[in-house]
Amino acid sequence: MKTLEYLKGCLIGGAVGDALGAPIEFMSLDQIRSSFGNEGLTDYSEAYGRIGSITDDTQMTLFTAEGLILSKIRQEYQGDIGVIAAVYHALLRWLYTQQAGRQEQLINAYGTCSIIDGVLTGHKELFSLRAPGNSCLSALQSGQLGTMDNPVNDSKGCGGVMRMAPVGLMFDDAQKAFRIGCECAALTHGHPTGYLASGTFAAILSRLISGESLTAAIGDSISILKCNTNHEETLKSIETACESADKATCGPDIIKEIGEGWIAEEALGIGIYCSLVAGDDFKKGILLAVNHSGDSDSTGSITGNILGALHGIGVIPENWIVNLELKDLIEETAVDLFDQIK
């Protein structure tokens, strides 16, 4: 089991990638280069009124972590059901921060404790719209707890996979991380690829935190993925990412072959590709992950999660950490996760 520095690296790394991608999330590569030069974006740029702003990706990652932490503290485990219920209520608290006009309705529907409990709703900075995904919003607004057997929709957007890092950190059993990751993603994303890609991402991080190499972690997670029906899209994206990483050249043109990252398997594939190409060069991997015509913050976040879990917080440029929004809260969340798994 790796130390706290690797859990911090995973969550801080993901948030850094998210913040770097935030200002260019909806820009084409040509627009990025026109604004920042031929190399593209190379440092934080202003988004949401400040430098180093996080987006909904990090917001939802934090709330997912809070749900896992509270489920363990309260010992609410009833098999997987207790964990999933705790994460669901945590995501409802995230919805509470996004939907000021619905707060009374949420409290009436789910109970004051379920909505208000936890520490994250005490941070006013989280009460901010950072381009939240429509699938996440509509699924949580529906009042239906989505499951793989009873899906709340048919979405395979990346809104499940981009928030799944805490599941991989919490469970050192990769098969359990995969299963819990799938269930947590299915709360908002009912398409099999939407939750299978999320479970695979959780499994990869679980193996990395256990000390495996990235290549071995990917291989182990593929073995778990293949045991599930409807795995073909996720598997193809991962295999394309791994094959692309072996090419002599790297860059946005190679990323384009994997996709743009708006959907789950593409976001995961791009994150894997950029992490493999980066080696131990965090900056190289993250800048590759955000400079393309796609969902820059989500692919940056996933890449940052992987590289941070693999190499620890020490590989992240200090200026990116210092200027990161809510960095102290993100580190505190990593500490709280670590305390539950020691």
Domain harbouring 205, CATH code: 1.10.4080.10
User: How many folded domains does the chain comprise?
Assistant: 1
Residue 289 lies in a domain: yes
Burial-class residue 52 by CB neighbours within 10 Å (0-12, 13-18, 19+).
buried
CB-CB contact of 278 with 13 (8 Å):
no
- The angle at the Cα of 301, spanning 296 to 302, to the nearest 5 degrees, equals 105
b/e map 181-211, b = 16+ CB within 10 Å: bbbbbbbbbbbbbbbbbbbbbbbbbbbbbbe
pTM of the model: 0.96
Residue 110 lies in a domain: no
The pLDDT confidence band at residue 91, using thresholds 50, 70 and 90, is very high
Residue 180 lies in a domain: yes
Burial-class residue 104 by CB neighbours within 10 Å (0-12, 13-18, 19+).
exposed
Residue 296 has pLDDT above 80, yes or no: yes
Residue 86 lies in a domain: no
Say how far apart CA 312 and CA 304 lie, in whole Å.
10
Residue 240 has pLDDT above 70, yes or no: yes
The pLDDT confidence band at residue 248, using thresholds 50, 70 and 90, is confident
Say how far apart CA 287 and CA 278 lie, in whole Å.
10
Q: Which residues pair with 50 in a beta bridge?
A: 47
pLDDT digits (tens, 9 = 90+) for 199-212: 999 999 999 999 99
Find all residues with CB under 8 Å of 227, minimum gap 6, and list them: none
Say how far apart CA 193 and CA 269 lie, in whole Å.
12
pLDDT digits (tens, 9 = 90+) for 60-82: 999 999 999 988 877 655 666 78
* Predicted pLDDT of residue 223: 98
Phi, psi (rounded to 5 degrees) for 157: -60, 170
The pLDDT confidence band at residue 116, using thresholds 50, 70 and 90, is low
* Residue 207: domain span: 4-54+141-341
Burial-class residue 160 by CB neighbours within 10 Å (0-12, 13-18, 19+).
buried
Residue 10 lies in a domain: yes
CB-CB contact of 254 with 247 (8 Å):
yes
